């Protein structure tokens, strides 16, 4: 295993770090405030600058204007972008668009790429990924999928209900998972659905714990007999679960990278207060209980970082199947450490930590979703335990 970054990647990482430090972080509050009212001009300016500096969509192939980074390169850059909740968007690497772009690159036809991928790459539109349904439909267990796609002349007719489709309100198109047969393995298919197609009803923004961050509004949708032509089927009929896996492992890992960035910045932001605030005759940083919180966070972040790099390295070797259980480990570990690090940051700052004068409480509310989205902790633990008990998971790699 070689986790060292090439010189080229190290230089690229330094450029992204500088861009985030000097250009994005100073305006992150304004971007969030503007985006809550509509399109953010400040974000638009950042995006133009990222494009001019050759840092736009770096995860994509060069033919699409990217830098063909691969998973290790994505690790190097996405951690830097993740240090602010608006970082990934500035480079057009944010969820769910980034995962959807990668899926369209892997499974889209030329015509699908021209129509759906290119505008997404250019930042002209956004997209959403619609898998989860309100109970009793697909959730932690995708085999509960209820949305039906039935054959029609020249295409399919979709009927069903989805929720937690992040970004669906403003998206130009949706990638919708629907049932095409009762086959347990090949019973689902994916469709590229125009958000404004006849029969697509946007029910509501689901009110959630965190205020929306940029376009991350959680949408609920109904599909009433929506006609989807054959040319908007993604992959083949029955490929749905396979494509979902193909999208989920790398997309999950990119979440891990961004979360590591945010946890690292959280820890950094603790230094000034604990290094200057005195309590019971000593600086907070000199109290053992505070030192323990810092040490635990630093250790957890480092462990999560190594887990993510290992997983990225496996993907780079083409070992996608082997990477699955390790990606589950990384995802649960990093989602928890992010929540814990933010909770501890609030604690170390006392009343200030609970206030909006520091960013922790807002980030904490956003971070709490990490333990649920992309599969709850318990489902990942189920996968890890199953693979271990079947002798397919080597814990001393």
- Find out whether 145 and 159 touch, Cβ atoms under 8 Å: no
DSSP β-bridge partners for residue 282? 279
Minimal CA–CA distance to 78: which of 59, 101, 65?
Answer: 59
Cis peptide before 281 (omega within 30 of 0): no
Q: Any residues with CB less than 8 A from the CB of 162 and at least 6 apart, and which?
A: 130, 131, 132, 133, 147, 168, 176, 220, 221, 223
Nearer to ligand FAD, 132 or 341 (CB): 132
350's tokens? 């006392």
Q: Give the number of other Cβ atoms within 10 Å of residue 393's Cβ.
A: 19
Nearer to ligand FAD, 239 or 374 (CB): 374
- Rounded to a whole number of angstroms, the minimum distance from the CB of residue 210 to ligand FAD is 8
Q: Any residues with CB less than 8 A from the CB of 111 and at least 6 apart, and which?
A: 231
CA distances from 151 to 221, 311, 395 (A): 21, 39, 46
Nearer to ligand FAD, 55 or 130 (CB): 130
Rounded Cα–Cα distance for residues 291 and 281 (Å): 16
Q: Is 226 helix (H, G, I), strand (E, B) or coil?
A: strand
39's tokens? 């399109």
Helix and strand numbers, DSSP H then E, in the chain: 14, 10
- Find out whether 193 and 158 touch, Cβ atoms under 8 Å: yes
DSSP β-bridge partners for residue 218? 166
**Binding interface with ligand FAD (CB under 6 A):** 96, 129-132, 135, 139-140, 164-166, 218, 369, 372-376, 378-379, 382
Cis peptide before 136 (omega within 30 of 0): yes
CA distances from 348 to 292, 345, 360, 365 (A): 11, 5, 11, 17
- Rounded to a whole number of angstroms, the minimum distance from the CB of residue 177 to ligand FAD is 7
- Rounded to a whole number of angstroms, the minimum distance from the CB of residue 259 to ligand FAD is 13
- Rounded to a whole number of angstroms, the minimum distance from the CB of residue 132 to ligand FAD is 3
Nearest residue to ligand FAD, by Cβ distance, number only: 139
Nearer to ligand FAD, 67 or 94 (CB): 94
């Amino acid at each position: 295993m070689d986790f060292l970054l090439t010189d080229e990647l190290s230089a690229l990482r330094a450029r992204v770090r500088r861009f985030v430090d000097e250009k994005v972080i100073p305006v992150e509050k304004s971007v969030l405030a503007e985006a809550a009212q509509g399109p953010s001009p400040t974000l638009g300016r950042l995006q133009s600058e990222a494009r001019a500096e050759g840092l736009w969509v770096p995860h994509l192939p060069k033919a699409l204007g990217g830098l063909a980074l691969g998973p290790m390169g994505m690790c190097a850059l996405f951690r830097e972008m993740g240090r602010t909740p608006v970082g990934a968007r500035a480079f057009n690497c944010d969820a769910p668009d980034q995962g959807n772009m990668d899926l369209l690159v892997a499974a889209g036809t030329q015509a699908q790429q021209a129509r759906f991928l290119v505008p997404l790459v250019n930042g002209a539109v956004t997209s959403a990924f619609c898998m989860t349904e309100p109970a009793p439909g697909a959730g932690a267990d995708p085999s509960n999928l209820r949305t039906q796609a039935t054959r029609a002349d020249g295409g399919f007719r979709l009927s069903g209900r989805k929720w937690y489709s992040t970004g669906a309100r403003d998206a130009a198109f949706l990638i919708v998972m629907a049932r095409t047969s009762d086959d347990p393995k090949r019973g689902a298919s994916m469709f590229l659905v125009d958000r404004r197609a006849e029969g697509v009803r946007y029910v509501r923004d689901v009110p959630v714990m965190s205020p929306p961050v940029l376009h991350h509004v959680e949408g609920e949708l109904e599909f009433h007999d929506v006609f989807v032509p054959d040319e908007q089927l993604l992959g083949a009929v029955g490929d749905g679960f396979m494509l979902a896996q193909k999208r989920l492992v790398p997309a999950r890992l990119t979440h891990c990278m961004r979360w590591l960035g945010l946890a690292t910045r959280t820890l950094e932001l603790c230094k000034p207060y604990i290094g200057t605030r005195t309590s019971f005759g000593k600086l907070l940083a000199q109290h053992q209980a505070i030192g323990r919180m810092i040490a635990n966070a630093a250790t957890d972040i480092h462990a999560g970082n190594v887990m993510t790099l290992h997983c990225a390295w496996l993907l780079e070797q083409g070992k996608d199947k082997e990477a699955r259980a390790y990606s589950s480990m990384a995802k649960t570990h990093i989602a928890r450490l992010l929540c814990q690090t933010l909770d501890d940051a609030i604690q170390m700052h006392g009343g200030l930590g609970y206030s909006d004068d520091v960013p922790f409480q807002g980030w904490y509310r956003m971070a709490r979703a990490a333990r649920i989205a992309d599969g709850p902790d318990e489902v990942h633990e189920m996968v890890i335990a199953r693979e271990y008990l079947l002798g397919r998971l080597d814990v001393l790699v």
